[in-house]
Structure formats: C-alpha cells, structure tokens
Amino acid sequence: MSEQGLRFLCPNGHLGFAPSKRESFDIGAATKPHFYCCDSGSSDIGPGPLGGDYSVSPYEWQKHDLEMMLVAARRQEVPMIIGSAGDTGTRSRVDLYVKIIEELAAKHNLPPFKLAYFYSDVPAAYLKGKLAAGEKVEGLDGRSDLTVEELEQTDRIVAVAGIHPFIEALKSGADVIIGGRSSDSAIFAAPAIRLGYPEAESYYLGKALECASFCAEPYAAKETVIGEVTHEDIKLTAMSPYQRCTVASVAGHAMYERSNPYFEYVAGGMLDMTNCRYEQHSEKTCRVTGPVFVPVEGKVKVKLEGSGKVGERYVGIAAVRDPYTIKNIDQVLDWAREQVRERFGDEGYGLYYNVYGKNGVMGPLEPIKETHSHELCIVCQGIAPTAKMAEEVTMTGTRQIFYARLPEVKGTAGTAAFGFEEVLPASAAYKWTLNHIVPVDDPMELFELHTIEVRGAR
C-alpha cells in the first residue's frame, strides 16, 4: 500500500446534508479504495446549530450516508473515517453517530470491529484559565483577541481537530473513526501522513477531495470522487458517469474561498500551492504535482469555534406588487422601522430586512437590468429576549410595510394593494463569538479519545 499509493473514496462534501448518490458510490467502492473518508460538518451552516447543539441535516439522511460507507468499508475490511459528526462535531453529535454505527452493525450482522471516537468540546473555564495566565488567544479574520466578556456570551465551544486525533485513533487499530469537530482536509491527510507520505501531497489530497464532486465538472453535488496520493503526485478521478476531474475543475476548487488562493493554513503549517502543476492524466482524472508544506515553528495552535445565543426569533414574509410601493420601498421600510421603534424603543431587540427583487430581474442570457421588478419579497427577522416579544417585533415590522404613509398615495387602500404577509416562528438566533486559535502544549490536549469494540454479529 505504501509503495503503490493510497486511494481514498469521498462520497459527499458534507455527509448527510443531502443524501450521497448511490450509483457513483458503488462505482467507486468497486475499485476497492484503501480508505472511506467523509466530513460531516461546516461553519457554513451558521452559528445556530453549534450554539443550540442540534443538527441541520435530517437523521435519516445522515444514517443513509453512514450506512453506505460502513457496509462497504467493513466488507473490504478497510478503515472508515468521519469528521465533524452531525454537522457541528459536539459531544452529543458524536454520541449520536456512535449509536448509529452500533445499530447499523447489528442490522447488517457485521463481524466485530474496533470503533474509535473523540470529543472536541472545550469548556469556557479552560480558556478563562489561559487568559488569566496571560496567554493570548488570537482572533482570526479580523477579530480581536479573545476576551472574558466574549467567553461569557458563549454557550458552546468546539476545537477543530487536525491530523493528531485521527492518527492516534489509527494507531490504536481503529476500523471506524467518528470525530468531533475537525478540519476537513485532516481527515484525508492523517492516514497518508501516518503511512509515510509527504505532508504537502497529503494535505493537498485532503483539500482537493474534501468536497467530493465539487472538484469535478460539470457541477454536481453528492457524487463520489476517488483521490490517490503517492510520494510524487495526487490524482483525482470522478466516479459519476457524467463527470470528469479536469485541470480547471480541480484547480478552481483547490483555490476557492480564500483571500490568497495559493495558500491554505493547516495544522502545524501552511500548504503552499504557488507552484502546483495541473495536467489531464486521463479523460476523468486530473494529476497534480508541486505543492509545498511550510511548517510553522513553535507551539501547535488549534482553531476554536464558539457560538452564543442572541435571543428568540420570528420571521415575517411580505410580498408587494404595487409599482409605487416598489419604487419607494426604502421609505416604506424606514416607516416600518419607526413604528417598531415607537412600540419598543431603541434597544433590547433586533429588526432586520432582506429585500429580494429590488434591483430588477435577469432574463435569459441577459445582464441584470437596472430597473425595478414587478414584485418584491421582503423577509423580516425580529429577535428579542422572549418569543412573545420577538413575534410582536416581527409582526409590527412586517405588517407596517402595508401601512406606510407615502406622498401621492390616495384612498383607503394605501400601499397594501396587491400584497400579503405571514409571520412564522423560527429557531433561536445565535452569533459567532469565537473564531480564534489557541496555543497548546500537546496536540491532543483538547481532544478526548475513546475506543470500543462493536459486535454486530450474533
């Protein structure tokens, strides 16, 4: 295995967020990869699931993907690795996935196997201790360094695992690994680095493969891709019959969503993609060479994510088709805001508007026209300490749209002509309170690793 290269199957860029496609998964499984790997989380879903400790992905969709991977991996007797269990990687989500794995093992009467899992939850007291000792917990993406005040606004914190917990789990002989919150690239890089492959190629493999079919074209989600790493290169191959991994699709995916597209920060260093070379290896396969890993000196730093509750939330939806109201929608919303202010004052709540359709419509193969569309959809969000207050803030902010006093409006209908509104309860509102890095003496310091034997066969 170490001499010929390692092959990884990734069926989904976010396990369970939408079900993985069966056809391309079966095609990939038939090639007998050495590892089945998938990340199950993201900060893209916002701070609510972390703060509220729930999943945004339906239970059955998560179970569907876990079942496909578990059965195939155990049939081939190769490791299966999952990171960021249940969308957020909190303790409750890890426990949920461990339970699902145990139930699936019994359902399919699988032979006994070793399951490793780790928690990523970080107590606020741990960070308060760091701050009290004078250690700096550095903010990312323009945030200031962590303060005690920010910690006191935080309901839940997770550390983002690098390669270390996965390597320790593999060393223990784990056949299946369920990880808490994790770096998506680390899930793939860890097995390769443990088996002696270069860090640069291993991390690049993870970066390119973690979103599965997003690195292929034409665009399609939830399709399986196989990634192979050797000591000299990385190869990515689309398993879907209608997709290919091309120079454009792989390079584009590797460099997206960062201010500097050629650098990716990973645990213990930085992946430099400045000198990467992309070539079409075969019709469905792109070959990549040239990534460089630059280690960072000093203590390992671990990323932290934290979320805190802001208040209860309601959402209002209004539609407006009256041309004069549409033309003056900014003044209409100012009116509605003022009515909320008269009722509730200036503080102690939040009122937010999103207006869809304001800047016109786009026709087939035409640029956006700088004209007003014939209809607007206005989404109003009200946030307050109690659900009752949030409902009234939202209802006032939504309904007053149709009572706005505009010049030149005559008659009793006012601006309510051709409109409707609806106010609905929504999940509580949360905000990101931590996007920081903390230095640690031991890379495993924030991760609690456990192993159990799962006996499916009776």
Q: Contact at 8 Å (CB) between 139 and 433?
A: no
Residue with tokens 């998560």: 62
Following DSSP, what letter does each residue of 110-169 receive, concatenated?
PPPEEEEEEE-B--HHHHHHHHHTT---EESTTPPPP-HHHHHT-SEEEEEB-SHHHHHH
Q: Contact at 8 Å (CB) between 392 and 349?
A: no
One pLDDT digit (tens) per residue for the chain, 458 residues? 445 799 999 999 999 999 999 999 999 999 999 999 999 999 999 999 999 999 999 999 999 999 999 999 999 999 999 999 999 999 999 999 999 999 999 999 999 999 999 999 999 999 999 999 999 999 998 899 999 999 999 999 999 999 999 999 999 999 999 999 999 999 999 999 999 999 999 999 999 999 999 999 999 999 999 999 999 999 999 999 999 999 999 999 988 766 677 677 776 788 889 899 999 999 999 999 999 999 888 888 999 999 999 999 999 999 888 888 888 889 999 999 999 999 999 999 999 999 988 765 444 444 444 455 788 899 999 999 999 999 999 999 999 998 888 877 665 554 444 456 689 999 999 999 999 999 999 999 999 999 999 987 66
Q: 286 and 349 share a domain?
A: no
Q: 215 and 192 share a domain?
A: yes
Q: 198 and 259 share a domain?
A: yes
Q: 203 and 110 share a domain?
A: yes
Domain span at residue 418?
310-430
Q: 206 and 69 share a domain?
A: yes
Q: Contact at 8 Å (CB) between 186 and 267?
A: yes
Residue 40 maps to a domain = yes
Q: 45 and 73 share a domain?
A: yes
Q: 83 and 225 share a domain?
A: yes
291 contacts: CB under 8 Å, gap ≥ 6 = 200, 201, 203, 204, 234, 271, 272, 273, 275, 276
Residue 101 identity (one-letter amino acid): I
Q: 29 and 108 share a domain?
A: yes
80 forms beta bridges with 36, 176
Residue 142 maps to a domain = no
Q: 446 and 337 share a domain?
A: no
Domain count, the chain: 2
Q: Contact at 8 Å (CB) between 437 and 302?
A: yes
Q: 422 and 319 share a domain?
A: yes
The CATH number of residue 360's host domain is 3.30.70.1130
